[in-house]
Each structure stands twice: as structure tokens, then as C-alpha cells.
Structure 1
Amino acid sequence: MYLGLKEMRYEKLRYSLLTGVMVLIALVVFILAGLAGGLSQGNRLAVDQWQAKYVYLNKDANKNIMASQLTTDATNDVKGKQVANIALDSTVVRKIGSNNKIDISALGTANNSFIMPKVTSGHKVQRDNQIIISQNLKDQGIKIGDKVRLGSNDTKLTVVGSYGKSTYSIAPTMYMNLATLAKIKAAGTPVTKPLGINAIITKDSQLSGNKHNLQRLPINDFIQNLPGYSAEQTTLNTMIYFLFAMSLAIIGIFMYVLTLQKQSLFGVLKVEGIGTRHILASVVTQAAVMSVISVAIGLLITIGIGAIAPTGMPFALNYPQLGIYAISLILASILGSLLSWRTIAKINPVTAIK
């Protein structure tokens, strides 16, 4: 161990270059983790805020809420204490008198529904054509009292309240009652009853009948089937795992080449009575020190990037997960250094000295 540290102090440039490469690998891993977390949160934050247990969709919708077409009377098939209808629409919002358009996810539910967010300013939805907006939309210039329109619909909506940050499908959310959203989606055609919805959200429930062809999904299963969610997470996580393997390979190759270059030195050490285990320990120590330093630097840079990232950038740091990735990178580096064990063990002192 002491020999390894002493060599690192002597060969500063060589080991600094490898540490720099490992910093870049760690930085890419942590940034990808932040992007994966941001995209995950951006897709599902509104769903998490429902604090629901089950989602009921049309059985023919293939677990896709946007493909699920139901009506409010489907609620009669669901028996439970807290049951909420929900309708969704992906559209754009613009303030009357402004040409600035913002992509949003519009959600409709009953005024007293348990999934209706609690307002932090203003008041809750009380009648048709009233909406409450997320903090994300306030940050983009929409405020309480503004008159807005959604899409190409001419209906004037009034912002009466706001709630905390909330996104669905990477877009800021706004809530209104079902009648208002039905009017928006109808685009000028008469709205018929029962009103159309996409899903039924519950905290605890069961089917009491199934006249409306319902399928019950646990909330986690529902989230995994959100459009694009699983594909995004799988792609980014695969890239992260590939970088773990790359870290192992880089350390392994570097240490193997150094071992070949230092065969004569290791031969002298063996003649002096220093065994293979102690020589290998010095190599492992070098890998561990470099990986710890590089991971620490990578973490600090990533936290700094997270602090200055634009509000529109989907970036969220999950510190327990980052801790797991940091430990994994260190272990991968140590494992890579162990690949030199066989070469060190086979060094013949007499041959190496010659």
C-alpha cells in the first residue's frame, strides 16, 4: 500500500492523466443519472402527487391512458372510498393578448377530487372555465387573474389559483373541472353526457362489476406504461451500465500495461521478500485512490451543474442513487486493477531482473 502511494507521488503526471479520464467517466455517469432522474420526474411527478394506489383504464387501451376512452358512469363499476375521474389533454396555453405559447398537460377532475392539487395561492376551482396552474407555469409568466386560451379553442379560461411544481409527460400541468376540459376537447361541438374521461384513479378500491370493460393497474405498473417512460429509462440506464464496464476496462488495461513495464521492479521486490499479495495490494491501492478522487470530483461538478441547470432542463439528482453509482464506479475500478494479479503472480524474479 505504501509503495503504491509513494509511486503515485513520484509519477504525478501519469496517474493524474488516468484520474482525469476517470473523472470524465464519473461525470458522464452522474449527468446521465441526473437526466434519467429529471426525465422520470418530468413524466410522472403529477402521478406521484396523486398518492393513488390503482388506476382503472379501458381494457382495450393496452395500459396506455391516452388510448383509454371511458365515461363518468364507469365509476359505478368501481367500489372504494376515494375514487376520482380524470381526463387529460396535451395542448398549448397562451395568455390572451400574447402570442407566446407554452406546451402543457391539461388535467380535468371533480372540484372536490382527492387528486385536485391543494392551492398555495389564490383559490381552488369552483366553477366552469376556472383553472389552477402549477408553479412551472407561473415561472413562465402566467399569473393568477390572467385570461388564457388552450390550443385553438376560443373559450376564455381564468387562472384562479396555483400550486407547487408539477409536470406530466415533461410538460407543466394545469387542473380544471371535467366539464371545462370536455368543452376544450370538443373544439366547438356540443358536449354530451356522460362526460368522457381517460381513467379512474383510486387509493383503495375493487371492481363491483365490469360493464365498462375496465382494467385495474397498480400505480407502478401504470407509470411504467406511460408513453415513452420505460424506453427513456432503459436507454439511459443501459448507457450508465456500459460506462461501469468501460471504467473497469480502462483501469484494468492501464494497470496491466504498468505491470508489464514494472516487471523488473516487481522482480527486485520479490527477491527482497515482498510477496505477490503485497505487490497486488499496492496496485489495488492506486486504483482505489484514483477512483475515489475522480468520483468525488465528478460528484462536485455534477452538483454544480444541477444548481445552475436551466429550469426547463429535465435534471434531478437522486443522492442515494448517486451514492450507489459512486460506490459501483469505485468497485469497478478496484475489480479492474485485480486483473493484473495473474501477471504479477507469474513474475519470475530471476528472469525479471535479467
Structure 2
Amino acid sequence: MKMAWKEMKKNKLRYTILGLIVFLISLLTFIISGLANGLSQDNASLIKNLPDGTFYLEEEADETYSFSSLSDQQQQEIAEEQPATAFFSIQMGNFIDSSDKQRSVAYVSASDSTYFQEVHSGEVILDASLEEEGIAVGDEITNEQWDQSLTVAGFVDQEKYSHSPAAFINPNDFQALFHTDTMQIAFIADSAIKNTDDAPVFKGLQAFSNNEFLNTIPSYSAEQMSLNMIVIFLLVISGMLFAIFFYMINVQKLGIYGILKAIGVKTGKLFQMMWAQMFIISVVSLILSISISQAFQLLAPNGMPFHLTWETTGLLSLVFVIIGFIGATLSGIQIKRVEPIQAIQQGEM
């Protein structure tokens, strides 16, 4: 470590440039990861807030919840086998608030369940993002196609679906507004499954895990795949950067390595010096990029879907260090192969 630090102090500009590039790449990676997580929450927090479990759609719905319709017989069969099953429906729509402004929402109606908001007939509970836009408890919302109005009874945090705020309404109101009394989706939490560790199978229904159901949401998988691919490419680029940088440095120092080997310095010691330099550069760069990305999360506008957890930050930081270690190690293969006499002669040319 001491020898590695002395060399870094001697060649400050060289290592500062590498550190600056790693800082910029890691900062961009954290920002894009935060946007990916934020968009994921904005697109499907209604589903992501549910515990691990199994979702059921009608088999003929072709993995599209809006085409699914669970008959009374199917609901009864599921409820008899799994009494803790939650049945719910989602309908994209809009309403007009007290200031005559039209708002897009995802209407959600559910059977009695601890997983969804309980709403009385004639009332609606909205996502808190609408409260920030001026809607208050006691306001009435209407629609040109409705024969009735709904009164805002409260707000809940982080309940969105398909980038729209959720609006929880009573099943009777849902039936009156959308002219259907059937539920689209059944959900059974893993913790509620009785008598078996496997999710039950029901005739005519298709089962989905949480992640599988998220991918049935329009645009969700394409949106997440694009952003995650960018993050992966940035991680690969950082590994290549370490490999190329240390390869160029090692080529320039073959003569020095030859002398060090000639006086008895082990190859492992030279690798340790290179790893120490890689680790110092990575840690300093990551501390700076983490600090700025977390500050950005605090200062970002409320409307920006940015969500960077410490768990994600820690995982990405660990991946950065591992990839940097691999890149530096691959570039150091020439250190192992170098012969003292040959390296000294090359350094004298």
C-alpha cells in the first residue's frame, strides 16, 4: 500500500485523470439507476407495494389484465381454497376536479383486503401526488359520463399504475361507473397460502409471480430493459477503462518491474500494488459520486421520478470495485510474464 501510494503521489495527474473518469461514469450509473427505479415506482408502485405472491388472470386474456374477467364461480372456487385471496380490478380513466381540470388516474376497486385501501361508497382515496396538485379532502370529483360524483376521503403515498395516480373506489361505485361487476385479477400472498409451499393452480386461470405480472404492464419491461442495459454498458466500460489504463502503465514500467523482480520482489507484491491503486481510485471516486447522487435525490423536483436506495447504491458500488479488480488483474498478466533481464533491456532501449 505504501509503495502504491508513493507512486500515485509522484504521478498525480495521471491517476487524477483516471479517478475523474471513473467518478463521471459511476455518477452517471447512479443517476440512471435512480431514474430506472423511479420510473419503475411511477409505473407500478401499486403492484410493487404488494407482498410476494401469485397473481391470476383469465387464461383467455392473453396476459392482459384489461381483457381478464373472473366469473363468480371462479372467484368462489379460489376463495374456498384460499380465503385470504384479494380480488381487484384496474380501469384507466379520468375525472374533473373542483377547478374543472381533467386528471388521468387508474381506478382501483378491490374486495375486502388488507392489501388495498378500504373505501366507502360515494368516496375516493387518491394518490398523494394529486394532493400536491391542489386537490383536498372533501373535494368532489365528477366525469361527463357519470351520473354521480365522488368525495375525496383521503390520500395515500406511492400508489401509481402505468404512470398514473391510483384512485381507490368502492366496488359498488366501480360497477356503476364502468358497468361491470366482475373482478379482473386475483392475488394470493405467499404468506397466506395454506397446506402447501407451491402456489395453487386453478382451471382456466393463468398464474404470474410479482415480476411476471409487472411485465404485463404496457411499456414496463421495455422501459426498464432500456435503462438497465445502459447501466450494464457503463459497468462494462468502467472495467475496460481500468484494464486499458493499467495496461498502458504496466508497459511503461516493464523496466522497473524487471529491476524489482531482480532484487527479489515477488510478482504477488506487484499485483498488490496495482490492486491497491485501483482500490484507492475506486473508493475516492465512488464516495464523491454517491454523495452527489444522494444530494441530487434530495434536491430533485417532486415531479421527477428518481428513487435511489442505499441498497442499490451499495450493490452498484460493490460491482464497480469487482469489475475494476478484474480489469486491473487482466492488465497485469504481463507483469507475471515479464523476465527481469528482458524487461531491463527493454527499459534501456
What TM-score does the superposition give when structure 2 sets the normalisation length? 0.86
Task: Give the match for residue 38 of structure 1.
Answer: 38
| Residue correspondence of structure 1 range 28-107 to structure 2 within 5 A | 28-51=28-51, 53-72=53-72, 74-78=74-78, 79=80, 80-99=82-101, 101-107=102-108
SS at match of 2:332: helix
Shift of 1:106: 1.1
Q: How does 1:104-253 map to 2 (within 5 A)?
A: 104-110=105-111, 112-117=112-117, 125-127=119-121, 129-150=122-143, 153=146, 155-185=148-178, 191=179, 195-203=181-189, 204=192, 210=203, 213-253=204-244
User: Relative to structure 1, is the Cα distance of residues 8 and 88 closer, same or farther in structure 2, using a 3 angstrom cutoff?
Assistant: same
Is the Cα contact below 8 Å between 2:254 and 2:344 reproduced in 1? no
For residues 22 and 209 of structure 1, what CA distance do their matches in structure 2 show? 52
Q: CA deviation at 1:294?
A: 1.0
Counterpart CA distance in 1 for 2:210 and 2:173 is 26
Aligned position for 2:302 = 311
Deviation for aligned residue 1:254: 0.8
AA at the equivalent of 2:25: I
Distance (Å, rounded) in 2 between the aligned partners of 1:71 and 1:151 = 30
Aligned ranges for residues 254-273 of structure 1 at < 5 Å?
254-273=245-264
Name segments (4+ residues, structure 1) moved above 6 Å.
Answer: 205-209
Distance apart, 1:214 and its partner CA: 2.8
SS at match of 1:227: coil
**Distance in 2 separating the partners of 1:288 and 1:138:** 47
SS state of the match for residue 133, structure 1? strand
Question: Could you tell me how far apart the structure 1 residues matched to 2:321 and 2:210 are?
Answer: 35
State the shift of 1:45 in Å.
Answer: 2.0
Q: Distance in 2 between matches of 1:312 and 1:72?
A: 41
TM-score (norm 1): 0.85
Give the superposition deviation at 1:257.
0.9
**Alpha-carbon offset, residue 256 of structure 1:** 0.8
Asked whether the 8 Å contact 1:72–1:85 carries over to 2, the reply is no
Using the TM superposition, give the Cα deviation of residue 18 of structure 1 relative to its aligned residue in structure 2, in angstroms: 0.8
Query: After superposition, where does 1:269-288 map in structure 2 within 5 Å?
Result: 269-288=260-279
**Pair 269,53 (structure 1): closer, same or farther in 2 beyond 3 Å:** closer
State the alpha-carbon separation in 2 of the partners of residues 150 and 257 from structure 1: 68
Find the residue that maps to 1:105 and give its secondary structure: strand
Question: What is the DSSP-based 3-state SS (H/G/I as helix, E as strand, rest coil) of the residue aligned with 1:296?
Answer: helix
Distance 1:328 1:115, change over 3 A: closer
* Cα distance per residue 1:163-185 (max 9 Å; x no partner): 33311222221100123223333
1:230-257 deviation per Cα after TM superposition (whole angstroms, max 9, x unaligned):
3333332222222221111111101111
Equivalenced residue count is 336
Once the 2 structures are TM-superposed, how far is the Cα of residue 6 of structure 1 from its aligned partner? 0.7
- Find the residue that maps to 1:106 and give its secondary structure: strand
Contact 1:91 1:150 in 2 (8 A): no
One-letter code of the match for 2:104? D
- Percent identity, aligned pairs only, is 26
Q: Is the 8 A contact 1:44 1:223 kept in 2?
A: yes
SS of equivalent to 1:57:
strand
* 1:33–1:261 CA distance, 2 compared to 1 (3 A): same
- Distance of aligned partners of 1:151 and 1:61 in 2 relative to their CA distance in 1, 3 Å threshold: farther
The root-mean-square deviation of aligned C-alpha atoms, in Å, is: 2.6
Deviation at 1:5, TM superposition (A): 1.0
> Residues 156-202 of structure 1: CA distance to partner in whole angstroms, max 9, x if unpaired?
221122233311222221100123223333xxxxx46xx13322233
Shift of 1:220: 4.2
Match of 1:333 among 295, 304, 324: 324
Match of 1:346 in 2: 338
Deviation of residue 330 (structure 1)?
Answer: 0.9
- 1:317 is paired with a residue whose SS is coil
Alpha-carbon distance in 1 for matches of 2:298, 2:120:
38
Residue number in structure 2 paired with 1:121: none
The match for 1:15 is: 15
Q: Which residue type is aligned with residue 68 of structure 1?
A: S
Q: 1:132 Cα deviation (Å)? A: 1.2
Cα deviation per residue 1:296-329 (whole Å; 9 max; x = unaligned)?
1111111111111222222222322321210110
Q: Which runs of 5+ in 1 are unaligned?
A: 118-123, 186-190
Q: Is the 8 A contact 1:77 1:207 kept in 2?
A: no
